[in-house]
Copies of this chain bind each other. A is one copy, B any other.
């Protein structure tokens, strides 16, 4: 029987090589067509894409195989690559917004470019590189070997996912800036738009459409994947505070420093004592955040029961996701993969 970790791991190698070759070829063309300097910047973008977990690219393949009902060939690589490159772009812009200097254990793109000049220069070039990545991601779908009608439909879904992701990011920035931790519905909307559509539903549906999925299959995937994605976000919020930087490959104080609006923060604030609330108001959303302050916040999230409550909610969403699986596929191997995916999202350490 297949194993989801192995499914992702073995595809990651192939996809990583494909993306690397694709970008290498592009960089060579850029050197001729535009300039050495621009080609070098593309090189930074390529490096930033390495070391990802390749979940989204793998889910494109999984969605494709579910719709197709047989193993995928190389034809799905460009669409998987498209999603991974879209992700690199989104993270590139996200790291500017979150002021994160670290990503995947290395300098984030704006930070890497800033090294040779100043911060504003790094941000400027990173904005452009992110834009380039968005266009490249669409071009990859466009240039894939599928029929024109499948490609048009896939591009439609892909562009919707891109706007949904940005909508979620904007709502997130808005609520963080307003320090609005009371709006539970808004917080779940952010997860749905920014995480579920972007991390799980979008990739699965993009792949499925290219495999000729019916609308019923697309709808079932949506229900499965949104529940799964919301769980993923809850786990992400917990890891953002609990995990070490080494585990995460990114800062474990940035969520606190930016005052990220999460379900975790929502429950903690709702249940905090007056004294805890005073402490949170002095730390949460106030940069810089020291390790001691991070531990204080972690302690409050623990003692208020916010961690436990979010875990309970996550388990409920996971149960929903599991219930939908029989509507997605009858194939035992695929059922196993989709079930394991639920566990993986919930138990991951990074």
Contact = CB atoms under 8 A, between A and B. Distances in A.
Interface of A: 30, 34-35, 37-38, 41, 93, 96-97, 99, 117, 120-121, 123-125, 127-132, 134-136, 138-139, 142-143, 148-149, 151-152, 155-156, 159-160, 162-164, 166-171, 173-175, 177, 186, 189, 193
Given A30-B167, A127-B96, A177-B117, A155 B135 contact: no
Given A35-B186, A127-B96, A173-B128, A138 B138 contact: yes
Contacts of A189: 34-35
Contact of A193 (B34, B37, B97): B34
A198 to B, nearest CB: 12
Most chain B CB neighbours (cut-off 10 Å) among A35, A37, A129, A149: A35
Contact of A148 (B117, B121, B152, B167): B152
A34 B168 CA distance: 8
Contacts of A139: 156, 159-160
Nearest to A169: B128
Listed from nearest, the 4 A-B pairs whose CB atoms lie closest are A97-B124, A135-B162, A148-B148, A34-B167
Given A37-B170, A171-B38, A134 B132 contact: no
A110 to B, nearest CB: 11
Contacts of A151: 152
A166 B131 contact: yes
Nearest to A92: B127
Given A173-B121, A189-B34, A142 B159 contact: yes
Contacts of A97: 124, 127-128
A200 B1 CA distance: 57
Contacts of A35: 167, 171, 186, 189
A301 B227 CA distance: 63
Contacts of A129: 166, 170
8 contacts: A34-B164, A34-B189, A96-B123, A125-B173, A131-B134, A135-B162, A135-B163, A152-B152
Interface centre among A127, A160, A173 (most CB of B within 10 A): A127
Given A38-B170, A96-B124, A142-B152, 12 more contacts: A34-B164, A37-B175, A38-B167, A93-B128, A96-B127, A124-B173, A125-B173, A130-B131, A132-B163, A134-B135, A138-B159, A143-B156
A152 to B, nearest CB: 6
A194 to B, nearest CB: 10
A235 to B, nearest CB: 23
A108 B120 CA distance: 18
Given A30-B167, A34-B189, A37-B174, A131 B128 contact: no
